[in-house]
């Protein structure tokens, strides 16, 4: 049992409750205000009791929990807290695979002689994060990444659990199929309609049926159902792409909304490119229709870019030539790839005032708070706040 999965509990909301003691014990929602068309980024466990969940429209969250305190995200503070947590994790092993700002796998197979068993290491991490940083972190322990993450999911919030071999034999088969990595809400519905509700049901199902329902993912899911996961903890992979996407609560065909969303996506992708000191040559727009068909349109430029205006103009052109203009969409995404070192990009012979403006906006937002300065068209958005990140080659959390 050498793999630890560490996951901070309701991270953004917990940072707010730590820094503002008057919020402790109260339902806190991080995201768009309730009178907007934005969504919930995350919320405290006090709000989850009322049914509030991430990616839920803020207006719906308000109806479920009108007494909730809505706060905009403060990514600068969250990043600082995350760096402090990861500094603690790095004291126990250099083999750390970050899944997101608040979640990571640790391979502690070479750490036992110094720090004790995996359980003892997990206990130490939880104690230090609590006492030194004032945050709660849940820890799952397993023989592989899947079992460690499964243990975390079962012991949250503020817990620690080791998924033993006996649990693989006796507990895993009884769990609902959506506990398996890669089985989301849509796959769960398809499996349930075929009479497959538990992991045991899946193991007993005809292989051909599973191939029909799960496609190329079948073998991977069946391995997980048996407790097998051979993926190593990967300390670092060079980022090959940076992207964001948004799934709408209801299908959207209004081109003004699509334009607004693409502008918000471009703003966030540009911001993350500058943080990573990268520029991109390829821009890709991802569009998903109500029947779950996904279409991608890409274009590669000889000149690398990192400013919002250029990324948006490219994305909007791709949308307009996608053949889906004006048609209902359930998801829109934007990805920047073919990344280059942004510090050494040869400048164009012709200056672009849009890039200068973006540089000023970026520096001001870094000095103060992200979102302090933004384009006027985004002050009162007609779309949704964008909070779903994708960083290649890792999957979205």
Catalytically active residues, by annotation: 103
CB 125 within 8 A of CB 131: no
Buried b (16+ CB within 10 A) or exposed e, 268-296: bbbbbbbebebbbbbbbbbbbeeeeeeee
Structure-token pair, residue 224: 């997980």
Q: What is the DSSP string of 30-65?
A: EES-TTSS-BEEEE-HHHHTTT--TT-BHHHHHHH-
Distances, alpha carbon 63 to alpha carbons 30, 39, 67, 352, 381, in Å: 15, 13, 9, 46, 21
DSSP character for 198? B
User: Residue 287 — φ and ψ, nearest 5°?
Assistant: -130, 130
CB 122 within 8 A of CB 139: yes
CB 197 within 8 A of CB 176: yes
Tell how far CA 76 is from the center of its chain: 17
Q: Taking the alpha carbons of 302, 304, 310, 311 in that order, is the dihedral positive or negative? A: positive
Q: Which residues does 212 contact at the CB level (< 8 Å), separation at least 6?
A: none
Q: Checking DSSP bridges between strand 137-142 and strand 103-107, what pairing results, if any?
A: unpaired
Nearest to 117 by CA among 169, 172, 160, 170: 160
Q: How far apart are CA 158 and CA 130, in angstroms?
A: 10
Q: How far apart are CA 316 and CA 312, in angstroms?
A: 6
CB 387 within 8 A of CB 370: no
């Amino acid at each position: 049992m050498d793999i630890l999965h560490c996951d901070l509990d309701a991270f953004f909301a917990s940072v707010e409750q730590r820094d503002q003691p008057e919020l402790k014990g109260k339902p806190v929602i991080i995201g768009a205000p309730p009178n907007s068309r934005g969504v919930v980024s995350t919320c405290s466990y006090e709000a989850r009791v009322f049914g509030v969940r991430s990616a839920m429209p803020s207006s719906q969250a308000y109806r479920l929990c009108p007494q909730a305190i809505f706060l905009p995200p403060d990514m600068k503070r969250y990043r600082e807290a995350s760096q402090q947590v990861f500094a603690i994790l790095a004291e126990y092993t250099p083999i750390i695979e970050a899944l997101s700002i608040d979640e990571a796998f640790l391979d502690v197979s070479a750490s036992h002689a110094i720090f004790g068993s995996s359980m003892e290491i997990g206990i130490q991490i939880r104690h230090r994060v609590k006492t030194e940083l004032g945050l709660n972190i849940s820890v799952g322990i397993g023989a592989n990444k899947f079992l460690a993450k499964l243990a975390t999911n079962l012991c949250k919030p503020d817990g620690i659990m080791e998924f033993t071999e006996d649990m693989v034999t006796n507990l895993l088969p009884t769990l609902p199929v959506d506990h398996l990595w890669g089985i989301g809400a849509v796959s769960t519905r398809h499996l349930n309609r075929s009479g497959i509700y538990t992991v045991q049901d899946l193991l007993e199902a005809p292989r051909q049926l599973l191939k029909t329902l799960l496609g190329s993912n079948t073998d991977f899911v069946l391995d997980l159902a048996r407790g097998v996961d051979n993926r190593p903890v990967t300390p670092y992979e060079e980022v090959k792409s940076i992207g964001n996407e948004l799934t709408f609560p209801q299908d959207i065909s209004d081109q003004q909304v699509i334009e607004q969303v693409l502008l918000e996506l471009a703003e966030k992708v540009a911001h993350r490119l500058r943080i990573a000191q990268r520029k991109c040559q390829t821009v890709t727009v991802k569009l998903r229709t109500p029947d779950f068909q996904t279409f991608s349109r890409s274009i590669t430029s000889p000149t690398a870019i990192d400013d919002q205006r250029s990324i948006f103009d490219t994305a909007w052109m791709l949308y307009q030539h996608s053949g889906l203009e004006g048609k209902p969409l359930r998801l829109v995404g934007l990805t920047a790839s073919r990344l280059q070192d942004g510090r050494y990009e040869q400048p164009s012979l012709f200056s672009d005032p849009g890039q200068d403006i973006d540089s000023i906006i970026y520096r001001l937002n870094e000095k103060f708070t992200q979102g302090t300065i933004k384009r006027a068209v985004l002050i009162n958005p007609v779309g949704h706040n964008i909070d779903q990140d994708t960083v290649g080659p890792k999957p979205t959390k």
